[in-house]
Amino acid sequence: MEESIEAACASRQIAGVVLMAADKTGTMPHLAAISKIISRSNHMLNTVGDFHYTKSFGSRSLRTPEEPLTAETPMWMASFAKLLTTIAVLQCLEQKKLSLDTNVTLFLHELQDIKILTGFDENGEPILEQKASPITIRHLLTHTSGLSYDFFHPLLQRWRNSRGEKIASGPTIVKRFHYPIVYEPGTSWEYSSATDWAGRIVERVNDDQTLTEYMQAHILTPLGITDLTFQIDKRPDMKQKLAELSIRDATDDGRMKHTENDMIKVDTTDDMGGGGAFTSPASYMKVMQSLLANDEKLLSPETVDQMFEPQLNDAGQRALMEKLQDPAMNAIYGALPAQMRKDWTFAGLMNCEDVKDRRRAGAVTWIGLPNMNWVS
């Protein structure tokens, strides 16, 4: 495996990879065989048998390919941020500041009069209908609120264009994500900006702390994480070491080349809990390991268990499965067999059946746009 990845980096089929794995109990199957296979890698097999594996390949940037990519390299995490914000919301539930059935407009007055966009009339005017049910915290955590992303949904793209507004732009959550919903809350599923709004709720129920400040006290400090920020320009120590983006060069057999893509320039003044975090793989792994071990540093064992349980009703699951029949969307969402039954948890996408030679039923995964993936 390692030789294949090294060869792919050397030929610029990929720019770089950081692989990390850990087992919560030290009872990983075939551990002895695995430890022999990776004996020359950066790994640790401690005296009590816990398994940890870390290996980095390739370059931090193809602009300066001599700089190695490492597990400590800061990266734009994109939707990896959603897991962190979900933890923050669930902590607020444990603190009795919220409940899963809380009407979000108690804290998000911006969504008080939000309507459902169902289409456009013959004059090109948007058709907007009143929703019948409130949006709840549960809806936000499961992407069943009616919200979408304007860059995903054609009706929202047309709505933006009809107002002369740019898609996916603006420095604040309101500027970037305040648009109509596209279905009645609780009746479908659509990946969305819901987690960004959930992060704003965390701020407002905690005396208007920023999401960074809240996470610093309740997530980062308990785990010893010092390199996470939503405002990369305020952390020059991280910015100068940031992993840079690459794209495939169609004129060079699809080999990777450096790009100055603006995507990584998250020019926001708000802390975007759904996609604006920067941190290193090593630090993110501390969060994953804490959840896997269920060590109570972040959440109670009961809440962690709930976090990884299926949450969708029949309508939501049907909508999710329909979405994943699109090969492009299915590839983005983890490339699991399209017909395999799936569900959504508070943490991410669950496969409800075994994936032969890959993962068992009940595994949960999610992605970050710059080719990131976690599986638990």
| Whether the predicted pLDDT of 236 surpasses 50 | yes
pLDDT tens-place string over residues 267-326: 789 999 999 999 999 999 999 999 999 999 999 999 999 999 999 999 999 999 999 999
Higher pLDDT, 262 or 342: 342
Q: Indicate if 79 belongs to the active site.
A: yes
| Whether the predicted pLDDT of 46 surpasses 80 | no
| Whether the predicted pLDDT of 41 surpasses 70 | no
Q: Which of 61, 79, 148, 376 is catalytic?
A: 79
pTM of whole model > 0.75? Answer: yes
Q: Which residue in 97, 295, 131 sits closest to 204, CA to CA?
A: 97
pLDDT tens-place string over residues 348-376: 999 999 998 889 999 999 999 889 999 98
Backbone angles phi and psi of 310, in degrees to 5: -65, 140
Q: Burial, 170: exposed, middle or buried (Cβ in 10 Å; 0-12, 13-18, 19+)?
A: middle
Q: Which residues of 344-354 are buried (b: 16+ CB within 10 A; e: fewer)?
A: bbbbbbbbeee
Q: Burial, 41: exposed, middle or buried (Cβ in 10 Å; 0-12, 13-18, 19+)?
A: middle
Alpha-carbon distance of 143 to 147, in angstroms, equals 7
| Whether the predicted pLDDT of 38 surpasses 60 | no
In the DSSP assignment, the letter for residue 359 is B
| Whether the predicted pLDDT of 27 surpasses 50 | no
State residue 145's pLDDT score: 98
State residue 280's pLDDT score: 97
